[in-house]
């Protein structure tokens, strides 16, 4: 898998790698850490320059308070490791893959996590949506046309508890938190979130945090009144039978 690196010197967006930038990609991993995810199993591609920048920036600036990143040779390895780690630890873990092809390569491992009810947060990039340098992250290679799926999320929707898209950095943490609510609510299972290269490079003016208490897993719903009545009447009838 090739990793594309922007030609910063030739770009009109030469501040892309400014050291104090707070981007959507950085906030994404910050959100995962704040939600309790400690490990990300990654297989990166041309949609991930901001992801790579955020990984390095976080490791440098927040040692000990940043997810551990494990590079995997294939996507099936990544999700299988995340699946196993989630089952053993009892906590959701994360996977990062490359656009539609990386999503497809999850295949069997996604099915295993779904039927095994393992909470796994899957993040995938998407092809850029601008074509002529209108914003940081625009299309630069022929593959950005070839890998544009009409509905990328549909590839995995049948096996996920939730599928969503980060369309702006202004609500990246809410999107992550909502996905993890589904992942951790019964029946637990994998969730899938995607975002385009331009969105991942978006600069957010002010860092922000969520109150994690408001984003806990949803508890089981209460029994309807008629079910309670039926259960109690059945119990009474059984008691009468046993006493006779």
Mean pLDDT, rounded, for 84-95: 95
| 148-175 per-position pLDDT tens digit | 899 999 999 999 999 999 999 999 999 9
Mean pLDDT, rounded, for 2-9: 37
| Residue 3 in this model has a pLDDT that exceeds 50 | no
- Four-CA torsion 55, 56, 61, 65, nearest 10 degrees: 40
- H/E element, 184: helix 172-184
Share of the chain above pLDDT 90, in %: 62
Mean pLDDT, rounded, for 42-46: 91
In this predicted structure, what is the pLDDT of residue 241? Answer: 60
Collect contacts of 56-59 with beta carbons under 8 A, ≥24 apart: 57/19, 57/26, 58/26, 58/29, 58/30
| Residue 7 in this model has a pLDDT that exceeds 60 | no
Angstrom distance (rounded) from CA 61 to CA 207: 14
In this predicted structure, what is the pLDDT of residue 13? Answer: 42
Domain chopping of the chain, boundaries: 8-219
Can you give the pTM of this predicted structure? 0.82
- C-alpha torsion sign, points 159, 160, 161, 163: negative
Tell me how crowded residue 230 is: count the other CB atoms within 10 A of its CB.
12
Angstrom distance (rounded) from CA 148 to CA 55: 25
Report the first-to-last Cα separation within the chain, whole angstroms: 74
Residue 191 phi/psi, 5-degree rounding, is: -130, 160
Domain 8-219 CATH (choose: 3.30.43.10, 3.40.50.1820, 3.30.559.10, 3.40.50.970): 3.40.50.970
Buried b / exposed e across 77-110, counting CB within 10 Å, b at 16+? bbbbbbbbbbbeeeebbbbbbbbbbbbebbeebb
- Judge whether 147 and 97 are in contact, CB under 8 Å: no
Q: For the chain, what is the mean pLDDT?
A: 86
């Amino acid at each position: 898998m090739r990793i594309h690196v922007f030609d910063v010197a030739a770009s009109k967006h030469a501040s892309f790698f400014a050291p104090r930038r707070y981007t959507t990609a950085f906030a994404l991993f910050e959100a995962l850490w704040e939600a309790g995810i400690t490990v990300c199993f990654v297989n990166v591609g041309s949609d991930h320059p901001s992801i790579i920048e955020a990984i390095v920036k976080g490791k440098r600036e927040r040692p000990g308070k940043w997810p551990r990143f494990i590079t995997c040779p294939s996507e099936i390895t990544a999700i299988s490791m995340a699946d196993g780690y989630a089952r053993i630890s009892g906590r959701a873990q994360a996977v990062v893959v490359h656009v539609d092809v990386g999503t497809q390569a999850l295949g069997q491992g996604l099915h295993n996590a779904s039927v095994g009810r393992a909470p796994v947060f899957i993040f995938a990039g998407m092809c850029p949506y601008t074509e002529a340098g209108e914003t940081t992250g625009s299309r630069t290679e022929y593959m950005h046309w070839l890998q544009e799926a009409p509905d990328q999320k549909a590839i995995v929707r049948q096996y996920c508890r939730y599928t969503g898209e980060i369309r702006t950095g202004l609500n990246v943490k809410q999107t992550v938190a909502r996905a993890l609510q589904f992942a951790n609510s019964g029946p637990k299972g994998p969730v899938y979130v995607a975002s385009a290269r331009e969105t991942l490079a978006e600069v957010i003016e002010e860092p922000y945090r969520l109150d994690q208490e408001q984003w806990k897993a949803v508890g089981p719903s209460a029994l309807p009144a008629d079910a309670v009545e039926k259960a109690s009447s059945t119990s009474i009838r059984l008691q009468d039978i046993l006493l006779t």
